[in-house]
Amino acid sequence: MLPLFAMTAVAGALVGRAVWRSAGLSGRAGALIVAPAGLLGPLITMVPLESCTFEPERGLMDNAVGTVAFAGGAAVAIAAVAWIGRALSSPGGLGNLDSGGDSGTYRHRPLMPWLLLVPTLTILAVFLYWPLVETFRLSTHLVRRGAPREPFVCVDNYTALLGPSLEWWFVVPAAALLVAAVAAHVARRHARPGLDDTANRLARLRGALVVLTVVAATASVFGPGYRPVFVTTLILTSGTVLIGLAVGLGIALLVSQPIRGRSIYRTLLVWPYAISPPIAGILFFVIFDPLTGIAGHIWETLTPWEMPNYRTDATLARVVVIVASIWKTLGFTILFYIAGLQNVSTQMLEAAQMDGANAWQRFRHFILPSLTPITFFLIVTNVTYAFFQVFGTIAYLTGGGPSGATTDAMTSIIEVSTGNIGDGAAGSLVLFAMVLAVTAWQFRATGRRVHYGA
């Protein structure tokens, strides 16, 4: 384990140097401040695990999970120290925490702010931080409801999810990524400035391939038990978010046109936002009912084919869940895109029109870029919705079936917890990692902008 500690300490030093330098500060100071975080960070996970993953009788899979946990602890500590440390040591770096200086503040009441913060801090500590720590503990134990003992099982609850295998759908994007990376490198070398944007296009392609490869790599690490759950979560989430955003933006563009009665249209479009995910599930449960549902009746009137039964057909079941979720979230998306479209400069659009830009060019080069912040906000809120709230829709609509086709991460967590709560806790932390990955991607893409969304 000692070489691992040395590696994370060096990683911390390198990250600290890079971060401090990018802020225009001394790289050496950054390295000295962040290296200890890399050295001590792994203890966050290794102490509670009692380093059990590196005991001699443990298998290769346990060692691998242990290494990931080790690196995870180091990464959390390095990120925290680097972020907070840089914010403290660079002037004005703490966001706008102190904007406006001290004018207008209450000065001679040292106890008052703590009294005001006690309710918020107590509830966050007791009902959010503590359960998260407790989830880590549960995930390393065998916990059966009503059982008197909760034996420590090291990382068995995690290794139960795993079973890596090399699949074509991982190899193909990885190979394509390699080709694109090399091609982008070559193209940049030979790029004639201002003449072609092949290099830029290749870089964008490379970005998309990186996401694809990471997702495929993650999927190929999971074993036969959890992989379908992961894939289902991906399908339901990307379907809900991508189609929902595209349709929502299209409708928002229409309803933002200066026409009479647009506030009536807006209200008619937006109110399904108030309906709950379980009730969306109930509505579509009846609409798509295989015997009596109106959807099948309409489908069979309009087309020569028979509609499959969504309670036995895996593909249709997923489609119906996605349709129900899009229907429910569309109002929220439209609401925010309308607000964003009011923000697009009309002078700029009129100028573009005079210069001969057609409607598509105006949309592609002016409207879409100015909506980027709102798009990121909506992606994150809708992904969060798909991860956690679609559970209610699934519960009433399909119950996770047919044969697990709509059992997403959250549904599976609740399902496996009836046996061993530790399994559910391990699944929860895998989902937590997915949430953190989305958040990190958003941070990277939007700079340090934080959206205090719902």
Partner 1 sequence: MDITKAVTATEERVPRRRGRRRGGKWYLHVALSLICAVSCAPVVYAILVATQNNAQMINFDLTFGDSFLANLDTVWNDRDLGGFMVNSAIMAIIISVGKAATGLLAGLAFVYFRFPGRWIVFFFVLITLMMPTEISILALFEVTHDFGISGTMAGLTIPFLASATAAFLFRQHFANLPANLSEAAQLDGANPIQFLTRVLIPLSWNVLGALLVIEFLYGWNMYLWPLLTVNDRSDQVVQVGLASLQQSGQGQLYGPLMLGALIASIPPILVFLALQRPFMKGFAMARDK
Q: Smaller CB distance to partner 1: residue 239 or 293?
A: 293
CA dihedral over 181, 184, 185, 186, signed as positive or negative: positive
- How buried is 277 (Cβ within 10 angstroms: 0-12 exposed, 13-18 middle, 19+ buried)? buried
23: phi then psi, degrees, rounded to nearest 5: -90, 5
Residue whose C-alpha is closest to residue 340's, from 372, 365, 385, 363:
372
Q: CB-hemisphere CA count at 13 Å for 279?
A: 7
Question: What does the block give as tokens for 113?
Answer: 């702010």
> What stretch of H or E contains 31?
helix 27-40
HEC sequence for 325-355: HHHHHHHHHHHHHHHHHCCCCHHHHHHHHHC
**421-446 vs 372-384: helix axis angle to the nearest 10?**
180
d(CA 396, CA 289): 12
Q: Smaller CB distance to partner 1: residue 213 or 420?
A: 420
355: phi then psi, degrees, rounded to nearest 5: -80, 5
Contact, 414 vs 431, CB < 8 A?
no
Tell the smallest beta-carbon distance from residue 309 to partner 1 (Å): 13
Tell the smallest beta-carbon distance from residue 435 to partner 1 (Å): 6
Tell the smallest beta-carbon distance from residue 195 to partner 1 (Å): 34
Tell the smallest beta-carbon distance from residue 440 to partner 1 (Å): 9
Q: Smaller CB distance to partner 1: residue 179 or 286?
A: 286
Strand partners, 162: 222
d(CA 48, CA 125): 20
Contact, 398 vs 282, CB < 8 A?
no
Q: Smaller CB distance to partner 1: residue 34 or 187?
A: 34
Tell the smallest beta-carbon distance from residue 196 to partner 1 (Å): 33
65: phi then psi, degrees, rounded to nearest 5: -60, -40
Tell the smallest beta-carbon distance from residue 426 to partner 1 (Å): 10
Tell the smallest beta-carbon distance from residue 228 to partner 1 (Å): 20
Q: Smaller CB distance to partner 1: residue 143 or 187?
A: 143
Tell the smallest beta-carbon distance from residue 343 to partner 1 (Å): 4
Q: Smaller CB distance to partner 1: residue 215 or 413?
A: 413
152: phi then psi, degrees, rounded to nearest 5: -75, 130
Q: Smaller CB distance to partner 1: residue 61 or 431?
A: 431
Q: Smaller CB distance to partner 1: residue 176 or 395?
A: 395
